[in-house]
Amino acid sequence: ALGVVHDQHEIAGRGSVKFLDYYSVNGGLTWNLGTNMWHKANVGIGYDDGYLGAGASANFTPTSWGWGLNFKLNGPDGQLAF
């Protein structure tokens, strides 16, 4: 890949658990096998009842972090409202 001078050997996992009908939590972790350290991590929570979807997430690396919000509206046919 461009900008990568050394091979990167990583393993990643992620999971999601639904609770209380429309809510879910999720998370993921990427582990660098070469350095035996975590490389990326993320966590989030969401709500989706088929008409309204909203969520928040956070992501982390050893040197930075970030967060995001998402929002969607679906019409009666289940397609995006706009």
pTM (2 decimals)? 0.73
Per the CB < 8 A criterion, the answer to whether 47 and 23 are in contact is: yes
What letter represents residue 12's amino acid? A
Q: Which residues contact 36 (CB under 8 A, 6 or more apart)?
A: none
> Which two structure tokens, joined as six digits, stand for 64?
């930075």
Q: Give the three-class secondary structure for 4.
A: coil
The predicted-structure confidence for 43-69, as pLDDT tens digits, reads as follows 999 999 989 999 999 999 999 999 999
Q: Taking 70 as the threshold, does the pLDDT of residue 4 lie above it?
A: no
Nearest Cα to 69, choosing from 58, 56, 78?
A: 56
